[in-house]
Amino acid sequence: MNHVLYDAPGPQAVVRNKIADVVVVAVLVAAIGWIIYRLYESGQFELRRWEQFQYSAIQRQLLEGLWNTLRAAGIAAVLAIVFGAVFASARISGHAWVRVPATVVVETFRAVPMLILMFFFYYGSLQYDLGLSPMWAVVLGLTLYNGSVLAEVFRAGLVAVPAGQREAAYAIGFRKNQVVRTILLPQAVRTMLPAIISQLVILLKDTSLGFIITYNELLYVGRQMGARQEFGFPYIPTYMVIAVVYIGLCGLLTLLANRLEARSRRAVKTARSPLSSDLPANRDTARPDDKIPMGKS
């Protein structure tokens, strides 16, 4: 009964599975060991290549790149969520003059590579003297692409809400925008929270594309640090440090998502559980419209 979708493995299959697990782990350990050996053999762990990180000027440069990364990601995340919510609501509109343009916008920006969007805003600003800084070129590119993806995520969440809730809201006089804003969207956000956080993690990592248009974010700073000849061109050590920073940031986002999801589950469970204080203590204190269980006097 514990294996509904497949047959329970027999003794020989268990042995084969254990052998396969050992082989896979051994291959992974060997591959990691070979990579570390090659890095050591090529001198990537020499003290000279890591000395720059002890200087306060280098540390401030890294912190500046980290701040620029977080600033662009934070602004783009807020704008992308707003963009996604607005266009998801427009895509489920009953009016074709609202639904069709919203669909065209979402499908267009979802299909265009994000780097092209950044190039468009950056070089277009330079050509027509629009005054957009590299940061805003990065932010607008991230907003349009990730906002279009989030619009599809939100739309799927809105459609997944049971139709009976929409019908009940219409029955008590809600308008469609009120139904979407107060009933559908909050539930869709709770349902699609893992997908939203995954897209925000992608947005955070994609800020690294800004180094191509000279935005002074973390990867751009890393490229400058790796080009220092006096430290033996420490590209690989620098990128290893930056990779650890990105892993830490994405881990914090995942932890935040798990906390929000757990709190949302607790809130829904609390809202659905009956409160003992709402029940009458005895017949004398019961309200006239309270139902008294049959057989009780």
User: Looking at residue 181, what DSSP letter applies?
Assistant: I
Which pLDDT belongs to residue 273?
Answer: 56
Q: Are 79 and 139 in contact (CB under 8 A)?
A: yes
Determine the Cα–Cα distance for residues 98 and 86; give it in Å rounded to an integer: 11
pLDDT at 53: 87
Q: Please give the structure tokens belonging to residue 85.
A: 């919510």
Q: Which pLDDT does position 277 carry in this prediction?
A: 46
pLDDT in tens, 178-202: 887 788 777 777 778 888 888 999 9
* Alpha-carbon torsion, ordered 246, 137, 77, 64, to 10 deg: 40
Rounded CA-CA distance 137/149 in Å is: 19
**Per-residue pLDDT averaged across 221-242, rounded?**
87
Q: Which CATH superfamily is domain 61-268 in?
A: MetI-like (1.10.3720.10)
Q: What is the pLDDT of residues 245-278, one digit of tens each?
A: 999 998 888 888 788 777 767 766 665 555 444 4
- pLDDT of 204 strictly over 80: yes
**pTM for this entry:** 0.77
Residues 44-53: tens digit of each pLDDT: 888 888 888 8
Q: What's the confidence (pLDDT) of residue 268?
A: 60
Answer yes or no: are the C-beta atoms of 68 and 136 closer than 8 Å: no
Domain boundaries, given as residue ranges, for the chain? 61-268
Does residue 207 contact residue 217 with C-beta atoms inside 8 Å?
yes
Average pLDDT over residues 96-118: 91
User: What's the average model confidence in pLDDT over 57-70?
Assistant: 92
Please say whether the beta carbons of 146 and 85 come within 8 A: no
Q: Which of the four pLDDT bands, split at 50, 70 and 90, describes residue 93?
A: confident
As a whole number, mean pLDDT of residues 151-169 equals 84
